Structure 1
Amino acid sequence: MEGLALLEGWARDGLTDELIAEKVGIGARTLYEWKVRYPQILQALKKGKEVVDRQVESALLRRALGYFYDEVTREGGVEVKRVTKEVQPDVTAAIFWLKNRCPDKWRDKQEIRHSGYLAVNNPYSGLITDELKKLINET
């Protein structure tokens, strides 16, 4: 049980599977095999990563929207001044959030599908090669 808590903690701290394997003293492939063979190891790693993923997600959203916070100045452990400050919304964070959360609307490249036949008015479509050459030479 202590080993699982350690694995979960390392995952929560943001360590990759490769770094976790190194800390345990095994290769990354062995850790992968353990995750397949022992579901409790897989769950501990997932649980740890989920915690930090949620924290980062919350921080990104907060940054994208902007927020207020109180800056407190203390002297001798006593609060002497409190100022409410604002962090402006971050456009880059908002774009990142939208592109990842709503890719159908916000990704850079939009896929547009057409249905049916698209008619093009081409006055030269029925001409043979010799007729086209003759037109070219006339101009």
Structure 2
Amino acid sequence: MRSNEDLIKDNLELIESMVEKGSTDKQIAEKIGIGYSTFRKYKAQNEELKAAMAQGKEKKNQAVEQALYKCCTGYSYYEDVATKVKIETLADDEQTVLTKEEVKISSVKKYKGPDLAAQKYWLNNKEKTKWKEDPHKVDNDKKITKLKEREVNMKCE
């Protein structure tokens, strides 16, 4: 029987991909065939396991960041659209018109423009000092606090 440490070492790639897909520690432990508490213990001690899980989380975060960036800048995509098509043909008697409807699926290129909320979120997080709502909030709060302290001190005197 293989040891738990060997099971973890042999499944580092699987663990990384499961973390990337959003699996919980409990799901990962079940998949590789060890107990949840054992997995948590190894997660705290084993540097290779920590690195694999960190790599999986980093890949997941990069994918989200790329998706957010696409929303900020706008992007093109293809969408399948169903269209009814009428086909008229003459019957065998040459006088009756037969109408047949078909649904055709066509791929249409569409464009989603930049999303202002996504842009604001991106800039607030990437360029905090330049784009935050109130760049002087901390300084203003300190001044207000000092003024209130003076006011309280004057009332006490």
Q: TM-score, normalised by structure 2?
A: 0.55
Tell me if structure 2 keeps the 8 A contact 1:69–1:85.
Answer: yes
Q: CA deviation at 1:22?
A: 5.6
**Residue aligning to 2:134:** 109
- What is the distance in 2 between the residues matched to 1:113 and 1:101? 19
Tell me if structure 2 keeps the 8 A contact 1:99–1:107.
Answer: yes
Matches within 5 A, 1:124-135: none
Tell me if structure 1 keeps the 8 A contact 2:19–2:53.
Answer: yes
| Cα deviation digits, residues 85-130 of structure 1 (max 9, x gap) | 110111111111111111111122314798xxxxxxxxxxxxxxxx
**Residue aligning to 1:47:** 55
- What is the distance in 2 between the residues matched to 1:98 and 1:20? 33
Q: How many residues align?
A: 106
**Residue aligning to 2:72:** 64
Paired residue type of 1:110: P
Tell me if structure 2 keeps the 8 A contact 1:7–1:20.
Answer: no
| Match for residue 111 of structure 2 among 71, 86, 89 | 86
Q: Which runs of 4+ in 1 moved over 4 A?
A: none
Q: CA 1:110 to 1:3, structure 2 compared with 1: closer, same or farther past 3 Å?
A: same
Q: CA deviation at 1:41?
A: 0.2
Q: CA 1:71 to 1:110, structure 2 compared with 1: closer, same or farther past 3 Å?
A: same
**Residue aligning to 1:129:** none
Q: CA RMSD in A?
A: 3.0
Paired residue type of 2:25: I
Q: TM-score, normalised by structure 1?
A: 0.61
Paired residue type of 1:97: W
| Match for residue 3 of structure 1 among 11, 34, 43 | 11
Tell me if structure 1 keeps the 8 A contact 2:18–2:28.
Answer: no
